[in-house]
Chains A and B, each alone.
Chain A
Amino acid sequence: MAKLSHRMSEPVTESLLTVKDLSVILSREGRPSRVLDGISFDIFPTEIIALVGESGSGKTSIGLTLQGLLPREYLPQIAGSIRLAGIELVGAGRRTWRSARRHLVRAISQDPMGALNPTMTIRRQMRESNGGAERSIEDWLNRTGLPDPDRIADALPHRLSGGQRQRVLIAMAMMARPKLLIADEPTTALDVTMQAQILDLLRDLARDQQTAILFVTHDLSVAASLADRILVLYAGRIVEMGHIQDVARNAAHPYSAGLLAARFDLDSDRRRPLPTLPSERTPSVDVGKACAYATRCPIAQPDCRAIRPPLEPASVHDGAVACLHHEQTPLHSAQRSDGKPWPAQAIQETVALRLSNVGKTYPTGTRSFWGRRQPQPVLRSVNLSIKLGECVALVGESGAGKSTLLRIAAGLVASDSGTVTRFDKLPPQVVFQDPVAALTPWLTIGEQIGERLRAISLDSDYGRRRVGEAIKLVGLDPVLMDALPAEMSVGQCQRAVLARAIIVPPKLLLCDEPISAMDVSLAATTLNLLSDLRRRLEMAMLFVTHDLAAARIIADRIAVLKDGELVEIADPDAIIAAPQSAYTRSLIAAMPSLQAGGGR
């Protein structure tokens, strides 16, 4: 292992962070589970390392372990070694940990909206960060590109946008001049243009400050645009590590290859289903003595279930891989053209949804004496119609009015002006961003899907059969009919939400950012499912997203919304090949791509 890391680091310098055989066991509700299992890696000064894996792979746990901030109520048991700048942290006392957090390792989180104390001004929160040096606060806010740092410093967090908050958090972390910055999906909650700016900022600051970054992400394109090396994590184990370009070109582990294949961008083939990772993880088998990926692996052999593969030098690149049969890993680029094309799309002449001159204002700004607020327009005279069998994707950055438009289309919000006409008398069905929150926790999946049948009892054979059919249509196991939402994965919940929407097939399906919180493979699976359902049930669909790549894959037309106005609406490939508005051009330019190589 020592030999290996030596081989991988070009400059012969002392490593900043050495993690050796790190294992972490957390007990949730009295049940211990191993979230990290024999993790070893180094980070050298000023290096940027991407840590990639699906949700639940243990990415976030590594970051928290390195800061000593694993939740105490889970009674963490940590074994192995973490040496940060020469200090051993495993088994260290509270003081050592606190001093490490103060001076050596800082973090910025996934959720800029929640990561700032809502009742404390930015200035006071920043003052805590560097031990009270007042003068540098505005300086740092300035360096992160925030306009008017004076005003921002004295503001409370809720006055700032998501992008501004993330900049504040970056300033707060970097002003302590840490040696290591842990960035846990810092751009997931932001739209594309903001994401590109934040990534640039991080890269520049890290270079200036000589800070190494551990960049946690599920997005391989983001990883590629920023990092030097990549660690691929699966079920708490490192399955592959290497230089980012090597792995992106030629992944050695079947899991990495699958992740890369499932990734979609503006060049993905939209005529056929996206390649996805083989079925969801089943937490069966005794993973201790097996390859954790064996249950999903397309090239698994019998020995994969008996031997835990060690991390060994890979044959296809300079890095290391934990797979007994990695010579047989299929090239991910080869997986991308598999799959039957979608059947030809029949768009009917009937208009399922027509919005004419729809306008909407919301009260915002400061309150007057009697608590009234000034009305601010969010939508200005929007015209949009969707035919049966057609899918229109609505693209725009946060605050453009996308969600308001969807709510007006759904009849959940009344428009102030203009008319909304729907072909179907049944209310349209809506799929929201968070599938777990969209299900009632104490009702079984079957009950919730069956509710839409109204008069038909779920106890009747007919009712159960109808629910069973809907469940099968969305690719769920009918056994899950009696499961509660908490017993299912996020992906399964998303399918249940869709089953509920289509049991009485609506003529119009409205989707509000249904994939934006999902990792790559789940997002690809969901896009495939939606594409399949709308074709089979001949539904009209409005797909709201800030992800241009997803919009291009699912939609027949893309509509671009900016500041409440539709600036462009056209065929996806036409819009991407020749964007008409400056705003659309900036959206396309901000898309991260594997080939970008981070501009280094």
Chain B
Amino acid sequence: MLAYLTKSILGAIVVLLVMSFIVFGLQSIIPADPARAIAGPNAPRETVEAMREQLGLNDPAVVQYGRFLLRLAHADLGTSVRTRQPVSDDIQQYLPATLELGLAAIALGVALAGVMAALQFLIPGSGGIRLIMVGVGSTPIFLSALLLAYFFWFRLDWLPGAGRLVYRDFAGPTGLNVIDGILVGRPEVSVDALLHMILPALALALPIGIAVGRSLNGALHEVMRQTYIRTARGKGLSEAKVLLRHGLRNAATAPLSMLSLQVRLLFGNLLVVERVFGWPGLGLYTVQAFASADLPAVLGVAIVFGILYILANTLIEIVQSMADSRIKL
């Protein structure tokens, strides 16, 4: 376990180095000129040139990259062109909202997967469920997010569909509103935060649930044919015990790998969903950064997402090794 953690941290450092290199490369390839962006479209050429000098854009590439790495080591991701604030401050501000939504989406997705696999397993020949799954699975996320917002917020007005909270001035210690509401003793805040989260989290959870659910279903069907399942039934155990004790754990590896893949896709989906539901998180921040060629912001978020993905992946691998003790970390 210790060896595994050491290895995954070393791995993370290597990944970050590679990523920093790509990010830096992108900075120098992309035609957008940060000096021009800061100086404004109507600034005279001399001002822009001065700005270039000030930003160090005229130095040799190696020097620039070294400086970039040094800043990165101090968690300095540069200054956002759009907000004129350090990117790291911006990220600190928007990260909790995204973390809260992302975690809710993963939890909801796993729950959906379990329900779907259970339904398919208990009802043999359940063509209807498969049809629904294919239908939902083939809907692109921008469309499903819009449809959810249109019906459940705009038409039916069952659920809120914009922002995180109605309490505008609320600010808790962790930034995760559901938890903060409980911590500061205002349960109505938690409830409101949960209600706001349902639609965007559902939009994000649907693709996770379908992918992981199909994988779980396939793995269960394979596992329930194994001889050891027959051994378990031969002991006179009830079918539910056979499924939960002997089936599920042995079927867990493949769906967990699928979950790891889906978490990666989740980061991209967050951009779309936060934009649709006006969710003030890193996704929305990134979309806005794109619109104003705010390269430092985009790259800062990319690095944060990279770290989050490595974390999630490590966690999932640990869960995998707990489910199947033959997998040694």
Q: Is B232 an interface residue (CB 8 A)?
A: yes
Closest-by-CB residue of B relative to A107 is B234
Partner of B233, one of A101, A118, A169, A370: A101
In Å, the complex CA distance between A370 and B328 comes to 12
In Å, the complex CA distance between A418 and B105 comes to 59
In Å, the complex CA distance between A506 and B4 comes to 48
Tell whether, in the assembled complex, residue B228 and residue A117 are in contact, meaning their CB atoms are under 8 Å apart: yes
Q: Is A135 an interface residue (CB 8 A)?
A: no
In Å, the complex CA distance between A505 and B238 comes to 56
Would you give the shortest CB distance from A390 to chain B, in whole angstroms? 40
Tell whether, in the assembled complex, residue B124 and residue A117 are in contact, meaning their CB atoms are under 8 Å apart: no
Produce 1/0 per residue, A61-80, CB < 8 A to B.
00000010101110000000
Partner of A119, one of B124, B233, B234, B325: B325
Partner of B232, one of A128, A158, A173: A128
Q: Is B27 an interface residue (CB 8 A)?
A: no
Q: Is B123 an interface residue (CB 8 A)?
A: no
Q: Is B79 an interface residue (CB 8 A)?
A: no
Tell whether, in the assembled complex, residue B3 and residue A369 are in contact, meaning their CB atoms are under 8 Å apart: yes
Tell whether, in the assembled complex, residue A169 and residue B3 are in contact, meaning their CB atoms are under 8 Å apart: no
Tell whether, in the assembled complex, residue A120 and residue B246 are in contact, meaning their CB atoms are under 8 Å apart: yes
Residues of B contacting A129 in the complex (Cβ-Cβ under 8 angstroms): 235
Tell whether, in the assembled complex, residue B236 and residue A118 are in contact, meaning their CB atoms are under 8 Å apart: no
Residues of A contacting B237 in the complex (Cβ-Cβ under 8 angstroms): 98, 128
Tell whether, in the assembled complex, residue A101 and residue B235 are in contact, meaning their CB atoms are under 8 Å apart: yes
In Å, the complex CA distance between A103 and B237 comes to 11
Q: Is B64 an interface residue (CB 8 A)?
A: no
Q: Is A156 an interface residue (CB 8 A)?
A: yes
Partner of B231, one of A116, A158, A369, A371: A116
Q: Is B324 an interface residue (CB 8 A)?
A: yes
Tell whether, in the assembled complex, residue A109 and residue B326 are in contact, meaning their CB atoms are under 8 Å apart: no
Residues of A contacting B232 in the complex (Cβ-Cβ under 8 angstroms): 117, 128
Q: Is A114 an interface residue (CB 8 A)?
A: yes
Tell whether, in the assembled complex, residue A115 and residue B323 are in contact, meaning their CB atoms are under 8 Å apart: no
Tell whether, in the assembled complex, residue A176 and residue B235 are in contact, meaning their CB atoms are under 8 Å apart: yes
Q: A158-B326, A176-B235, A367-B328 are in contact. Are A115 and B3 (CB under 8 A)?
A: no
Produce 1/0 per residue, A150-168, CB < 8 A to B.
0000001010000000000
Q: A73-B124, A117-B228 are in contact. Are A371 and B3 (CB under 8 A)?
A: yes
Tell whether, in the assembled complex, residue A101 and residue B236 are in contact, meaning their CB atoms are under 8 Å apart: yes
In Å, the complex CA distance between A117 and B231 comes to 9
Tell whether, in the assembled complex, residue A117 and residue B235 are in contact, meaning their CB atoms are under 8 Å apart: no
In Å, the complex CA distance between A172 and B323 comes to 23
Within 8 A of B (CB), among A188-245: none
Q: Is A532 an interface residue (CB 8 A)?
A: no
Q: A114-B226, A128-B237, A370-B3 are in contact. Are A119 and B231 (CB under 8 A)?
A: no
Produce 1/0 per residue, B298-329, CB < 8 A to A.
00000000000000000000000001111010
Tell whether, in the assembled complex, residue A101 and residue B325 are in contact, meaning their CB atoms are under 8 Å apart: no
In Å, the complex CA distance between A17 and B230 comes to 22
Closest-by-CB residue of B relative to A105 is B234
Residues of A contacting B225 in the complex (Cβ-Cβ under 8 angstroms): 71
Q: Is B82 an interface residue (CB 8 A)?
A: no
Within 8 A of B (CB), among A341-391: 367, 369-371
Closest-by-CB residue of B relative to A103 is B236
In Å, the complex CA distance between A117 and B228 comes to 5
Produce 1/0 per residue, B211-250, CB < 8 A to A.
0000000000000011110111111111000000110011
Produce 1/0 per residue, B41-83, CB < 8 A to A.
0000000000000000000000000000000000000000000
Tell whether, in the assembled complex, residue B325 and residue A115 are in contact, meaning their CB atoms are under 8 Å apart: no
Tell whether, in the assembled complex, residue B227 and residue A109 are in contact, meaning their CB atoms are under 8 Å apart: yes
Tell whether, in the assembled complex, residue B228 and residue A101 are in contact, meaning their CB atoms are under 8 Å apart: no
Q: Is A269 an interface residue (CB 8 A)?
A: no
In Å, the complex CA distance between A101 and B326 comes to 30
Tell whether, in the assembled complex, residue B227 and residue A115 are in contact, meaning their CB atoms are under 8 Å apart: yes
Residues of B contacting A120 in the complex (Cβ-Cβ under 8 angstroms): 245-246, 249
Tell whether, in the assembled complex, residue B323 and residue A119 are in contact, meaning their CB atoms are under 8 Å apart: yes
Would you give the shortest CB distance from A365 to chain B, in whole angstroms? 12
Would you give the shortest CB distance from B149 to chain A, in whole angstroms? 42
Tell whether, in the assembled complex, residue B235 and residue A115 are in contact, meaning their CB atoms are under 8 Å apart: no
Q: Is A99 an interface residue (CB 8 A)?
A: yes
Q: Is A20 an interface residue (CB 8 A)?
A: no
Tell whether, in the assembled complex, residue A117 and residue B3 are in contact, meaning their CB atoms are under 8 Å apart: no
In Å, the complex CA distance between A371 and B234 comes to 38
Residues of B contacting A128 in the complex (Cβ-Cβ under 8 angstroms): 232, 235, 237, 245
Q: Is A464 an interface residue (CB 8 A)?
A: no
In Å, the complex CA distance between A114 and B245 comes to 16
In Å, the complex CA distance between A102 and B232 comes to 10
Tell whether, in the assembled complex, residue A115 and residue B326 are in contact, meaning their CB atoms are under 8 Å apart: no
Residues of B contacting A556 in the complex (Cβ-Cβ under 8 angstroms): none
Tell whether, in the assembled complex, residue B228 and residue A115 are in contact, meaning their CB atoms are under 8 Å apart: yes
Partner of B234, one of A71, A106, A158: A106
In Å, the complex CA distance between A371 and B324 comes to 18
In Å, the complex CA distance between A454 and B232 comes to 50
In Å, the complex CA distance between A132 and B238 comes to 15
Q: Is A519 an interface residue (CB 8 A)?
A: no
Q: A69-B230, A114-B228, A370-B3 are in contact. Are A119 and B235 (CB under 8 A)?
A: no
Q: Is A265 an interface residue (CB 8 A)?
A: no
Tell whether, in the assembled complex, residue A156 and residue B250 are in contact, meaning their CB atoms are under 8 Å apart: no
Residues of B contacting A72 in the complex (Cβ-Cβ under 8 angstroms): 124
Closest-by-CB residue of A relative to B6 is A369
Tell whether, in the assembled complex, residue B234 and residue A67 are in contact, meaning their CB atoms are under 8 Å apart: yes
Partner of B230, one of A102, A115, A158, A173: A115
Closest-by-CB residue of A relative to B2 is A369
In Å, the complex CA distance between A156 and B245 comes to 15
Closest-by-CB residue of A relative to B228 is A117
Closest-by-CB residue of B relative to A106 is B234
In Å, the complex CA distance between A118 and B324 comes to 8
Would you give the shortest CB distance from B189 to chain A, in whole angstroms? 42
Tell whether, in the assembled complex, residue A116 and residue B230 are in contact, meaning their CB atoms are under 8 Å apart: no
Residues of A contacting B124 in the complex (Cβ-Cβ under 8 angstroms): 72-73
Tell whether, in the assembled complex, residue A98 and residue B234 are in contact, meaning their CB atoms are under 8 Å apart: no
Tell whether, in the assembled complex, residue A99 and residue B227 are in contact, meaning their CB atoms are under 8 Å apart: no
Residues of A contacting B227 in the complex (Cβ-Cβ under 8 angstroms): 109, 111, 114-115
Would you give the shortest CB distance from A79 to chain B, in whole angstroms? 22
Tell whether, in the assembled complex, residue B233 and residue A117 are in contact, meaning their CB atoms are under 8 Å apart: no
In Å, the complex CA distance between A413 and B32 comes to 56
Tell whether, in the assembled complex, residue A109 and residue B235 are in contact, meaning their CB atoms are under 8 Å apart: no
Would you give the shortest CB distance from B312 to chain A, in whole angstroms? 23
Would you give the shortest CB distance from A154 to chain B, in whole angstroms? 12
In Å, the complex CA distance between A102 and B241 comes to 14
Tell whether, in the assembled complex, residue B326 and residue A118 are in contact, meaning their CB atoms are under 8 Å apart: yes
In Å, the complex CA distance between A71 and B324 comes to 26
In Å, the complex CA distance between A72 and B242 comes to 15
Residues of B contacting A125 in the complex (Cβ-Cβ under 8 angstroms): 231
Residues of A contacting B231 in the complex (Cβ-Cβ under 8 angstroms): 109, 115-117, 125, 169, 172
Closest-by-CB residue of A relative to B249 is A119
Hey, which bits of chain A sit against chain B, CB under 8 A?
67, 69, 71-73, 98-103, 106-107, 109, 111, 114-120, 125, 128-129, 156, 158, 169, 172-173, 176, 367, 369-371
What are 13 contact pairs spanning A and B, CB under 8 A? A67-B233, A98-B237, A100-B236, A106-B234, A109-B227, A111-B227, A114-B227, A116-B231, A120-B249, A156-B325, A156-B326, A169-B231, A367-B328
Q: A67-B234, A101-B234, A102-B236 are in contact. List 16 more A-B contacts (CB 8 A).
A: A69-B234, A98-B238, A101-B233, A101-B235, A109-B227, A111-B227, A115-B231, A116-B228, A117-B231, A117-B232, A117-B250, A118-B324, A128-B245, A156-B325, A156-B326, A158-B326
Q: Which 8 A-B pairs have the closest CB atoms?
A: A102-B236, A101-B236, A114-B227, A117-B228, A115-B227, A98-B236, A115-B231, A369-B3
